[in-house]
Structures are given as C-alpha cells and as structure tokens.
Amino acid sequence: MSFARSRLPTRSGSHFFSDRSYNTRLSQRINPTSMSLANLKILYFLTISLLAAPFASAQNMPAPAPPVIGAKSYIVVDAHSGYELASMNADDQLAPASLTKLMTAYAIFRALREEQVRLDDQVTVSENAWRTPGSRMFIEVGTRVSVQDLLLGMIVQSGNDASVALAEHVAGSEPVFAEVMNQYAVTLGMHSSHFQNATGLPGDAHFSTARDLAILARAIVNEFPDYYKWYSVREFQYGDIKQGNRNSLLWQDATVDGMKTGHTDDAGYCLVSSALRDGMRVVSVVLGTASAKARTDGSQALLNYAFRFYETRLLYRAEEKVTDAKIWKAERENSELGLAEDLYITFARGRFNDIETTVNMPSIILGPIAEGQPVAELHVTLGETVLVNQPLRALQDNPLGSIWRRAQDSIALWFE
C-alpha cells in the first residue's frame, strides 16, 4: 500500500519582524555618501552582524545538563505530555516509603469514581489500623471516621493508621487491598513496582522506581483534579490534633501544589512534587536523599531547571479536525480526521517554530469508515527528534455510498 505524506502548519503565538522590514528601517537612518571608506567597512560588518542576530537567536542552545543533586534516583517529566525532561537511575527499584500512599490514594479515588465508596461513608477504626506504627492521624479504636477525613489524614498528615483504615474499608483487609494496588500498577504501566501494604512501611517485596512514581503522580493529576487539590492543603486538624503537611515546597514555592513526602531509614528522604507555571505542569520525583532539606532543595532545583529550559504547548485538542481524508466508495467524499485525546508536546524552550507536523496517509482509502477508526498517522518532529507518532482517527461515521457512487468511484480508481 502506498502512502501520501503531507505537511501541516504548526500553530504559533509568536510574532517576529521580517528581515526585510529590519533592513528597510536600518537603511533609512544611514547616509553612506557622508561616510569615509573605513567607516563604511565598519558599518558593513556591523550591519551584517545585526542582520544575522535574529538567525543566531533562533538557533537556541540545547538545554544544559540538569543540576546535580544528592539523591539515589530522580526523574522530571511534563505532567501533560509525559515527556522526560531529566533523570538519573530512574528505573532503579527502591523503597518508596510513604510515597506508597500515592497508590493508596489512587485506588481510593478509583473506588470513589466507581461509586464503591463515598466521601461521607463512616469507617469504623479497627485495632489493626490503630496499632499501625509510624506517622499517625491519631484515630482511636472503634471510632467512626469519614472517608474524606481519612483521606486528608493520609494525604496531609501521612497517617499510616488512616491508610490502613481506608484499605480495610475498601478491600476488607490490607493484604487484599495491596493486591488491588498491584493491579492498578499494571494497568498504569508501572511495570517495576510491587506493593505489600498501603503505608510504605518496609517490606522485602515492596518497591517502586522514580519513573513508575512519576506515572502514578501524572495519573492522579490528570484523572482526579478534584481530589488532587487536597495535596496542596498545608495543615489538617482531626480532633484536637493539628498537623502540618511535610512538603515544605508548599511554603517555599507558590507554584508548587503537591504532592507527597516519604521517609524511612531504608528509603532515605523522598519527595514527589508537582508545580504549575504559565499553564505548564511539571512532576518531579526524588528518591533517597540524606535529609529533608536535601530532598526539598533537590526537587526545587529540578523544577526550576524544567521550567527554565523547556515548554509545553497544546498542539491539537481531542476531536478537533486535523486534516481531511478522501474516502472512495463512501457516502461522503471526505472524512475529517482528528485525535482521540488532547495532544501536548514538550520541547526545548524557544524551538516551537522549528517543529514540523506531517501526516502519513494511504493513497487510497475505501469506505465505509467508522467513527474512531484509525485512518492515517500524525508525526511531530523537532529536527531529528520524533516528539509524537499518533494515529489520526475518523471523527464521524462515513458509511458505504450508493450503488451509483460506488460504481462511479470504481471507474475513477482505474485511472489513479
């Protein structure tokens, strides 16, 4: 089968003076007849340099190496596109400590979405939950606590007791809940993770990676924006006990609005952070630093690096027409093609005008065409780098044409 390749214009919100208009303005200010030959030579070289400046600035320098931080592993990704901005040992399997509670929360959020539980459900606190060691929300045996309060106690206060109470409420027991966590890990593509509990307490087969935790953080941000806002809560009071969020970036950087800290002797100090600046959201995962300050400073440095040297733009919206395809023997001559989901692209800052979008499409496409059917492929490139390869799908059904239309197209195809 042969393919036709067409180039699409990229969107740009930037406006530049043309070189011609710049040259015109320059010549209007200079009278060469009044200048000496030496000065004319100097002016010539200055003019060439000035005219070349826009071209030089357009060829932006590549992003420098990311900052060096004292961590066992880290990764920085764009939350929308998933593009990796920087990493070190991102696939090393390490103890995640209380970052585990991101998966606990994700499983609870899924249960809420599927109406298996409700935020106002009252959970009876078991002795097992009450006795869970480590950080606590300080719930008491036999008391009834709402799912929402338990979620806030887990997210803001990192309560291990709250985590176990939620796990038991949803799955009957913490071991069964851990199986649910692992099922969701597989679904999300977290192929290097395994969970034994809902808290992050050490276990021989309890591990994750920076890359997997970034996948999980993106899922929470993108799938559950209404619940994600709880990760920016700075303090939560249950009963007479008020505790602050351990993520000090919430106070240090106004653009940071999540997510979760973690610490055990085995894991070291860990932090998943998320920040939003000018419509671009970045997720950073830092594992295994030597102190709480080191995880905060390292995360801040990685976030600043990502925002300084990269940018993300929405290229096409879901269900928006990207191009048309000619459909033979169908009811309509053309079908509109688009993407199933919003398409965000991340690239080196200032390089948007260098991005090219092309469509690979079969030269002959026969009807009928069903809505959602892949028909062509969209390629987005920046120089030699492929940013995106995604199928373009039909936005509407295009059923088989009439007998007359099919006969007419059959004859026309002889000449194609």
Catalytic residues: 98, 101, 158
Cα separation, 131 vs 323, in Å, equals 61
φ and ψ at 320, to 5 degrees?
Answer: -90, 140
Q: Quick check: 89 and 101 in contact, CB under 8 A?
A: no
Helix (H), strand (E) at residue 405: helix 403-413
- CA angle 223/132/125 to nearest 5° reads 75
CB 286 within 8 A of CB 260: no
Q: What is the CA radius of gyration of the chain?
A: 28
Task: Find the helix or strand (DSSP H, E) in which 293 lies.
Answer: helix 292-309
Three-state SS sequence of 8-37: ECCCCCCCCCCHHHHHHHHHHCCCHHHCCH
- The residue whose two tokens read 């939620």 is 166
- The whole-angstrom separation of Cα 319 and Cα 372 is 10
Q: Which residues pair with 366 in a beta bridge?
A: 328
Q: What is the dihedral of CA 350, 213, 112, 108, to 10 degrees?
A: -160
Which helix H or strand E contains 381, and what residues bound it?
Answer: strand 374-382
Q: Specify the length of the chain in residues.
A: 416
Question: At a CB cut-off of 8 Å and minimum separation 6, what does 12 contact?
Answer: 352, 353
Q: Give the long-range contacts of residues 182-190, CB within 8 A, separation 24 or more.
A: 184/103, 184/106, 184/107, 184/110, 185/103, 185/212, 185/216, 188/215, 188/216, 188/219, 189/215, 190/215, 190/216
